[in-house]
């Protein structure tokens, strides 16, 4: 029995690659996105009432590194949370490599505009196909006595420092893009995107693309990050 | 672009029809279900680690009254919450009639047994195809400052009374099924399943099937329910 779905919208986000995407969307409020509805749902009628809602669920396809129906099933995954070495069951993890490639994120609804939703706190790759949009229902969805021993707390944050010139570049491009580029870089890097098992020398350079920018940084010490440059990609 | 999915599990629940299913899963803790994994995921490996998690998300197909790809798109729905008369956008509602027929419910994980999960607080029809299982992550999913002006609070509950014989029947069948049948009936009926626009006479009988039982009730007054019988279907 096979189920066939069509995207109802597409997400336009700052994230052009998986590296450095926040592991949970709430951790990067400066990560904004446009959710653009596709025909036949590109009508304000389909959104009527959403102005009364502060947060929405996005159900989407994890469209990079798709698990194909004929792939050997992956029953266990190595979540980055556990250092990338320990394996747990795929259904005990939110890992992106999973059966049916379905993702689920709650984001803050900032603005509704004709047939687009502007949201913040996203962890979606640019171009992600959106399969459904549902209002967050606090009395049902916010389970305050729930516990999760694997992901009990927000990951610890790493200090993000700036080379003076990089900060000026980020400010400049933020104005050009009308986006909080400084905040986005700080929030993404504070989660320390490098694999947990790496202990890089201060000479090693890391980079990621955000919006149309290449962001370059290094680790001056084991527990801090310094942004070195923010330049057009 | 079409996306193809295969169920990873099937839900075995008390609900044999849509009528009287709780509108939000948290409102009926006595609604228990077995989520039975399907091959190739029917392995304890896929569940390893879940014992550290109190709640899980089920992503599933709303497999009754499916919206077909060729159906005229329904941009607005009439949620029961608003009395069934007012229309709102489909993406502002959790209504079951929606594009891609995707459902999303958080349930309490009670027990893990080989390749089954026993859960409570379900609002799924018996036989529902499960498309993904994800752990609830409290720090990301429980948004305590979220608001939703359409579904701000739990629905008001209706008082449920029992005909003496019906209570004895429910107790008997509860023991036979090893289920809290009395609690399940009370929790489902307290949400008053009849359409909001109906004001039935005391003579009118209502019925629903729960597990293998027919539950029959009436409205002695406009704001109370009395269970009249609980008999094998």
> pTM for the full model?
0.95
Which range is least confidently modeled, A32-36, B27-31, B120-124, B168-172? B27-31
From the list B130, B121, B100, the residue with the least C-alpha distance to B9 is: B130
Q: Strand ranges (DSSP E) for chain B?
A: 3-5, 9-12, 32-37, 55-61, 76-77, 88-89, 102-113, 116-120, 129-135, 159-162, 206-210, 213-221, 224-232
Matching CATH number, B9-141, of 2.40.30.70, 3.90.550.10, 3.40.50.720, 3.40.50.800: 2.40.30.70
Domains of chain B: which residue ranges?
9-141, 159-232
User: Is the Cβ pair A139, B154 closer than 8 Å?
Assistant: yes
Chain B interface disruption, residue of A23, A91, A155, most B CBs within 10 A:
A91
Q: With contacts defined as CB-CB under 8 Å, which chain A residues touch B98?
A: 132
Separation CA A128–CA A124 (nearest Å): 6
Q: With contacts defined as CB-CB under 8 Å, which chain B residues touch A25?
A: 140
Separation CA A45–CA B77 (nearest Å): 10
Distance from CA of B34 to the nearest CA of A (A): 15
Q: What is the DSSP letter of B198?
A: -
The string of pLDDT tens digits covering residues B107-117 is 999 999 989 99
Give the 3-state secondary structure of residue B5.
Answer: strand
Please report the DSSP string for A37-102 in residue order: E-TTS-SGGGGTTGGGBSEEEEEEE--SSPPPTTSPP--EE--GGGTTT--EEGGG---SS-GGGE
A&B contacts, CB < 8 Å: 264
- Write out chain A's pLDDT in tens, 233 residues: 789 999 999 999 999 999 999 876 777 999 999 999 999 999 999 999 999 999 999 999 999 867 776 778 889 998 876 767 789 999 999 988 899 999 999 999 999 998 999 999 999 999 999 999 999 999 999 999 999 998 878 878 999 999 999 999 999 999 999 999 999 999 999 999 988 778 889 999 999 999 999 999 999 998 899 999 999 99
The string of pLDDT tens digits covering residues B126-141 is 999 999 999 999 999 9
User: Is the Cβ pair B5, A100 closer than 8 Å?
Assistant: yes
Reported ipTM: the value is: 0.94
Q: Which chain B residue lies closest to A92 (C-alpha atoms)?
A: B50
- Orientation angle between helical segments A164-177 and A181-190, nearest 10 degrees: 120
Q: With contacts defined as CB-CB under 8 Å, which chain A residues touch B41?
A: 73, 75, 90-91, 99
Cα torsion through B9, B10, B13, B17, rounded to 10: 140
Distance from CA of B154 to the nearest CA of A (A): 7
Architecture per CATH, domain A159-232, reads as 2-Layer Sandwich (3.30)
């Amino acid at each position: 029995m096979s189920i066939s779905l069509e995207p109802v919208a597409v997400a336009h986000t700052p994230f052009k690659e998986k590296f450095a995407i926040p592991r949970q969307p709430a951790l990067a409020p400066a990560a904004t996105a446009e959710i653009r509805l596709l025909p036949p749902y590109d009508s304000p009628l389909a959104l009527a009432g959403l102005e009364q809602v502060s947060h929405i669920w996005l159900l989407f396809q994890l469209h990079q590194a798709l698990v194909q129906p004929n792939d050997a099933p992956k029953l266990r995954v190595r979540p980055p949370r556990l250092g990338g070495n320990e394996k747990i069951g795929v259904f005990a993890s939110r890992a992106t490599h999973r059966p049916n490639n379905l993702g689920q994120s709650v984001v803050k609804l900032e603005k509704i505009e004709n047939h687009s939703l502007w949201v913040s706190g996203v962890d979606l790759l640019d171009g992600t196909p959106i399969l459904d949009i549902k209002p967050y229902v606090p009395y049902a969805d916010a389970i305050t006595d729930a516990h999760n021993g694997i992901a009990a707390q927000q990951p610890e944050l790493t200090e993000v420092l700036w080379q003076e010139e990089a900060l000026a570049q980020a400010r400049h491009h933020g104005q050009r893009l009308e986006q909080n580029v400084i905040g986005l870089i700080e929030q993404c890097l504070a989660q320390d995107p490098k694999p947990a098992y790496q202990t890089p020398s201060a000479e090693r350079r890391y980079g990621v693309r955000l919006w149309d920018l290449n962001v370059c940084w290094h680790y001056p010490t084991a527990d801090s990050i310094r942004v070195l440059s923010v330049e057009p990609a």
